[in-house]
Homo-oligomer: A and B are copies of this chain.
Amino acid sequence: MPAEPGDSRSPGRAIYTMSNQVTPSVPAKHRIVILGGGFAGVHTAMELERQMSAALRRQIEVVLISNENYMVFQPLLPEMIGGTIKLQHGVTPIRRLLRSTRVYIREIQAIDLTAKTVSLAQGFQPKPEILAFDQLVVCLGSRLDFSKVQGMQEHALPFKYLGDAMRLRYVALRALEEADIQIDPAERQKLLTFVVAGGGFSGVECIAELHDFLQHAMKAYHNLRPDELRCILLQSADRILPEVDPTLAQYAHRILERRGIEIRVNVRLNAVSADAVVVTPKGSSDSELLPTRMAVTTVPSAPDPLVLNLSCPLDRGRIVVDEFLNVPGCESLWAVGDCAAVPQRDGITSPPTAQHAVRQAAVCAKNLLVQFNGKPKTSFQFTGLGKLASLGRHSAVAEVMGIKLRGIPAWLAWKAIYLGKIPGWDRKFRVALDWFCDLFLPRDIAQLRIYEPESVRRLHFHKGEIIFREGDFGDNLFVIIKGEVDITRGDSQIGSLKAGEVFGEMALVSDDSRSATATSRTDVAAIAISRAAFQQLVAHLPGVRPAIDTILTSRGYQRGVDGSGDGN
């Protein structure tokens, strides 16, 4: 379809505010705004395009707002960690799936149901942007919940989006590189221990692929022995894969354990630091420290903050809709996919899977157009086709239309079903080619540098954790937010610091290595400021230099922060 530049760019359609006065004038066309670029959102837009006649297209404008310009094909995500599927192949650019929908790649900042507007985050220019809608379809999915476990936000690697898979791969390879040259046995074992929290579909597929990848990759590291690898799956329930039949879950459990993956059921994850995770067996109060450099979380899911802030009823964080996908009492508001609590014919609430989202999207699109084409409303009838979980290495478990499969038949079913479902024929071809190449080409271990730590960031330390040692390189300054830190030199304690106090500044102003050891006396929350950022701040941000000079003087340091002067 050719572009219609004059038409689609007319200022009457998208409302931009050049000042802080919001002027949401009514758009020329009836505008349906879809929030979210996952299966639910993209399929709603695709269905609308398909169902709109040429006449309707002149009346209605469809807008889709997404954080990313691609849709992730979630089932392939675990294979992207190991590089079996190349990064770009498991995602489909949204613009390749949509023809006439207007696509905004922006974060959404706020939804105003009364004013009927959506505010978007800035692009290259720091301008607020307000978009008016006539009908709003919320397809915001769900988020991982970091709030319930200490240190999770700061140190656990989430596994949900494409960026997460890239980061996991990067950190896993970095751990192998470091382990290969590490001579301290404790640090070496820590580097070779990988923990995944969550024993559902996502956690099981993640640990299976990660373990598989690491085993293959380790062959290229001549100082590492395969038996040094430790992969641990943590599950709070009494079995893994609670979504499927117990016999299939048992099968999966046995298969994974036989490969050497440790599965811990009935354990709670208590805390995560850069060094270790803390777990407690259910019903016990004894906690255990598992030293690791890489903790991954796949549990549990929480609503998107935008959904939480909507003034409409929620059911366990999901927007309550009727069988037409419409929010009762709010004609212009719709919800589809993981963020919606959709009633099924069989009385249960629709589970958060892609197969349900796609069917909901079709129903929602039909009902969105009812007021224009006069057709009757359609209700959601689908109850699910089956469940599939890949276990890596030519194995899987599956329940398809009542039939239970496991091992190679399930694995073949998995590949066939998902290959059929990948949107776009070019992607199907590329993924099939990737699978084919994987049969005979070695695993890729190139470590693409995609992940730099923030220069100002929050950290969590377990009680008794060594924050830095005398003689270490001074890479960060720390400010304690909560908890207490002991400072020791040799065998003698030289200080104890609490919330609001700064430590680690000396090595940063002097370029010497750490002159003392810092250990957390309690659980500690802190912020860390990198050496480079600290030097910029001391040199330029008002107030910082005198405050740091005062601290240095009080600690008997003889020079000012610039290394000269006398410390006043």
Q: Which residues of B contact A246 (CB under 8 A)?
A: none
How far is it, in angstroms, between the C-alpha of A547 and the C-alpha of B545 when the chains are bound?
Answer: 11
Q: Which residues of B contact A177 (CB under 8 A)?
A: 69, 103, 105
Asked if A385 is an interface residue, CB under 8 A from chain B, the answer is no
One of A38-46, A216-224, A403-411, A414-422 at the interface: A216-224
Q: Which residues of B contact A96 (CB under 8 A)?
A: 220, 442, 445
A80 to chain B: closest CB distance in Å? Answer: 11
Asked if A347 is an interface residue, CB under 8 A from chain B, the answer is no
Known: A11-B183, A543-B547. A68 touches B471 (CB 8 A): no
**Number of copies of this kind of chain in the complex:** 2
Q: Which residues of B contact A550 (CB under 8 A)?
A: 542
Contact between B445 and A69, CB atoms less than 8 A apart: yes
Q: For A183, give its contact among B16, B166, B173, B481 (CB under 8 Å).
A: B16
Q: Which residues between 68 and 98 of chain A lie within 8 Å of chain B, taking CB atoms?
A: 68-70, 83, 86-88, 91-93, 95-96
Known: A104-B181, A181-B102, A447-B69. A481 touches B540 (CB 8 A): yes
- Nearest opposing residue in chain B for A442, CB measure: B426
One of A123-131, A263-271, A318-326, A351-359 at the interface: A123-131
- Nearest opposing residue in chain B for A454, CB measure: B455
- Nearest opposing residue in chain B for A424, CB measure: B442
Known: A93-B220, A183-B9, A456-B456. A437 touches B430 (CB 8 A): yes
Asked if A99 is an interface residue, CB under 8 A from chain B, the answer is yes
Asked if A157 is an interface residue, CB under 8 A from chain B, the answer is no
Q: For A126, give its contact among B83, B127, B468, B546 (CB under 8 Å).
A: B468
How far is it, in angstroms, between the C-alpha of A500 and the C-alpha of B223 when the chains are bound?
Answer: 52
A552 to chain B: closest CB distance in Å? Answer: 12
Q: How large is the interface on A (under 10, 10 to 19, 20 to 34, 35 or more residues)?
A: 35 or more
A107 to chain B: closest CB distance in Å? Answer: 11
Asked if A284 is an interface residue, CB under 8 A from chain B, the answer is no
A456 to chain B: closest CB distance in Å? Answer: 4
How far is it, in angstroms, between the C-alpha of A425 and the C-alpha of B326 when the chains are bound?
Answer: 56
Contact between B100 and A222, CB atoms less than 8 A apart: yes
How far is it, in angstroms, between the C-alpha of A426 and the C-alpha of B442 when the chains are bound?
Answer: 8
A21 to chain B: closest CB distance in Å? Answer: 8
Asked if A55 is an interface residue, CB under 8 A from chain B, the answer is no
Contact between B547 and A542, CB atoms less than 8 A apart: yes
Q: Which residues of B contact A426 (CB under 8 A)?
A: 441-442
One of A148-156, A306-314, A529-537 at the interface: A529-537
Q: Which residues of B contact A470 (CB under 8 A)?
A: 19-20
Contact between A543 and B546, CB atoms less than 8 A apart: yes
Asked if A122 is an interface residue, CB under 8 A from chain B, the answer is yes
- Nearest opposing residue in chain B for A544, CB measure: B543
Asked if A254 is an interface residue, CB under 8 A from chain B, the answer is no
Asked if A288 is an interface residue, CB under 8 A from chain B, the answer is no
Contact between B88 and A444, CB atoms less than 8 A apart: yes
How far is it, in angstroms, between the C-alpha of A433 and the C-alpha of B433 when the chains are bound?
Answer: 9
Contact between A127 and B95, CB atoms less than 8 A apart: no
Q: Which residues between 428 and 455 of chain A lie within 8 Å of chain B, taking CB atoms?
A: 429-430, 433, 437, 441-442, 444-450, 452, 454-455
A537 to chain B: closest CB distance in Å? Answer: 7
Q: Which residues of B contact A537 (CB under 8 A)?
A: 456, 529, 537, 541
Q: Which residues of B contact A529 (CB under 8 A)?
A: 537, 541
Asked if A225 is an interface residue, CB under 8 A from chain B, the answer is yes
Contact between B88 and A88, CB atoms less than 8 A apart: no
Q: Which residues of B contact A544 (CB under 8 A)?
A: 541, 543-544, 547
How far is it, in angstroms, between the C-alpha of A126 and the C-alpha of B450 when the chains are bound?
Answer: 21
Asked if A26 is an interface residue, CB under 8 A from chain B, the answer is no
A257 to chain B: closest CB distance in Å? Answer: 26
Asked if A366 is an interface residue, CB under 8 A from chain B, the answer is no
Q: Which residues of B contact A493 (CB under 8 A)?
A: none
Known: A3-B222, A126-B474, A527-B536. A446 touches B8 (CB 8 A): no
Q: Which residues of B contact A474 (CB under 8 A)?
A: 126
Q: Which residues between 505 and 564 of chain A lie within 8 Å of chain B, taking CB atoms?
A: 512-514, 527, 529, 532-533, 536-537, 540-548, 550-551
Q: Which residues between 340 and 377 of chain A lie within 8 Å of chain B, taking CB atoms?
A: none
Asked if A14 is an interface residue, CB under 8 A from chain B, the answer is yes
Q: Which residues of B contact A452 (CB under 8 A)?
A: 452
Asked if A329 is an interface residue, CB under 8 A from chain B, the answer is no
Contact between A124 and B536, CB atoms less than 8 A apart: no
How far is it, in angstroms, between the C-alpha of A91 and the C-alpha of B86 when the chains are bound?
Answer: 14
Contact between A19 and B122, CB atoms less than 8 A apart: no
Contact between B542 and A473, CB atoms less than 8 A apart: no
Asked if A330 is an interface residue, CB under 8 A from chain B, the answer is no
A–B complex contacts, Cβ < 8 Å, 13 sampled: A5-B225, A17-B471, A87-B88, A92-B446, A95-B220, A95-B445, A125-B187, A128-B472, A163-B450, A456-B456, A529-B537, A537-B537, A543-B544
Q: Which 4 interchain pairs have the tightest Cβ spacing?
A: A543-B547, A19-B471, A543-B543, A542-B547
